[in-house]
Amino acid sequence: MKKDRVVIALGGNALQADPKDTTAEAQLITAKQTARPLVDLIEDGHELIIAHGNGPQVGQIIATYEAAAGVPIMPFPECGAMSQGYIGYHLQQAIREEMVYRGIAKSIAAVVTQVVVDKNDPGFENPTKPVGSFFSAEEAARLEKENGYVMKEDAGRGWRRVVASPEPIGVVEAPIVKTLVDAGHVVITVGGGGVPVIDKGNGILEGVPAVIDKDFASEKIAEILDADYLIILTAVEKVAINFNKPNQKDLDIVTIKEIKQYMNEGHFAPGSMLPKVKAAMKFVESKPGRKALITSLEKAKEGIEGRTGTVIVNR
């Protein structure tokens, strides 16, 4: 069996399986369940690079600082770095534990990763990335008025704060990640899409207030590392057209041409499914032979075995 280099992107919402239970304990349980299909891949000899989202978590960190009296506000990039540490720690612990159970002698580490963005990216002018909890329309209106937030409805699940989400251009720590992967270690990187930084022109980096989409950052690191397979794990088993409507149709295997048409018809919600579809398409189109799969955390094993999920093929 061919041993693939696989980049797995875990959804920030999917890691908080129950939106009403945003505790660390609940997330660690989900991380431990998620670890099993990931370690199956490691056991089968594949090289694994794990990326993850941070939408709910970074929103939670920011909200905590905003609510705390007498504590200075923590800037956005620092909150992003905190979310990388928090989620990376859970994944390190969960995956290591599963490897210990199975007698796999591999090391795993989360690399605090900075991702370069363009300071003139139009994303800074038009916030699209949902972060934090879900609110009712009335609560959203109050938060817009009192906190100056921009709030948007998120894929039929409620209202969320949205922030700037520029496109990733480069991954600063990519050479270190490559060295670790080449040496046989399991690496967690571009957490929360990476901490967004701009290059001030002389190689000096500066954090900027934004949240990069982890699907785009995962695609970027997958290309840099010359991965074979991009797997995006989220809360739904399959990508659908007419999502949440009586005529919803789940997609199994779709060609680039078909999915482009569905995308142009507006079937994929911006800020949720659209970036996943775009990232999968970009990766598959970037080099012949590359594969992409979108499925749920729970169905990861079946999806990887080709028994479920939405597979995007370059035909």
Ligand X SMILES: Nc1ncnc2c1ncn2[C@@H]1O[C@H](COP(=O)(O)OP(=O)(O)O)[C@@H](O)[C@H]1O
Can you state the angle between helices 214-224 and 273-286, rounded to 10 degrees? 10
The string of DSSP letters for 224-254 reads HTT-SEEEEEESSSS-EESTTSTT-EE-SEE
Triad 12, 291, 297: Cα angle to 5°: 30
219 binds ligand CP (CB under 6 A): no
Residue 158 C-beta: closest distance to ligand X, Å? 11
* C-alpha 115 chain-centroid distance: 14
* Least Cβ distance, residue 183 to ligand CP (angstroms): 27
Of the candidate spans 9-17, 35-43, 197-205, 251-259, the one that interacts with ligand CP by CB under 6 A turns out to be 9-17
Positive or negative, the Cα torsion across 30, 35, 41, 43? negative
60 binds, among ligand CP, ligand X, none (CB under 5 to 8 A by kind): none
> Nearest distance from residue 133's CB to ligand X, in Å?
13
Catalytic residue among 59, 80, 129, 303: 129
Q: Which does 211 bind (CB under 5 to 8 A by kind): ligand X, ligand CP, none?
A: ligand CP
Considering only 31-39, 47-55, 120-128, 167-175, which stretch makes contact with ligand CP by CB under 6 A? Answer: 47-55
Strand partners, 109: 187
Structure tokens given for 1: 């069996």
Would residue 148 show up in a list of annotated catalytic residues for this protein? no
| Contact string (CB under 6 A) for ligand CP, positions 172-211, x = contact | --------------------xx-----------------x
Distance between CA atoms of residues 196 and 209, nearest Å: 7
Does 276 bind ligand CP (CB under 6 A)? Our answer is: no
> 245 vs 315, which CB is nearer to ligand X?
245
Of the two residues 193 and 309, which places its CB atom closer to ligand CP in the complex? 193
Helix residue spans in 102-230 (DSSP H)? 137-147, 174-182, 214-224
Is 34 a binder of ligand CP (CB under 6 A)?
no
Q: How far apart are CA 249 and CA 244, in angstroms?
A: 9
Q: Mark whether 129 is an active-site residue.
A: yes
Nearest CA-CA partner of 233 in 157, 154, 303: 303
Nearer to ligand X, 198 or 217 (CB): 217
Of 53 and 77, CB closest to ligand CP: 53
Residues in the chain: 315
Q: How far is the CB of 139 from ligand X (least distance, A)?
A: 19
Q: Considering 53, 194, 238, 276, which one is annotated as catalytic?
A: 276
Active site annotation includes 203: no
Judge whether 313 and 284 are in contact, CB under 8 Å. yes
Of 291, 281, 231, residue with least CA distance to 256: 281
Q: Which of 13, 54, 88, 123 is catalytic?
A: 13
Q: Please report how close the Cβ of residue 201 comes to ligand CP at its closest, in angstroms.
A: 26
Judge whether 31 and 17 are in contact, CB under 8 Å: no
Q: From ligand X, ligand CP, none, which one binds at residue 193 (CB under 5 to 8 Å depending on kind)? A: ligand CP
Return the active site residues: 12-13, 129, 214, 276
Interface contacts to ligand CP, rule CB under 6 A: 11-13, 53-55, 192-193, 211, 213-214
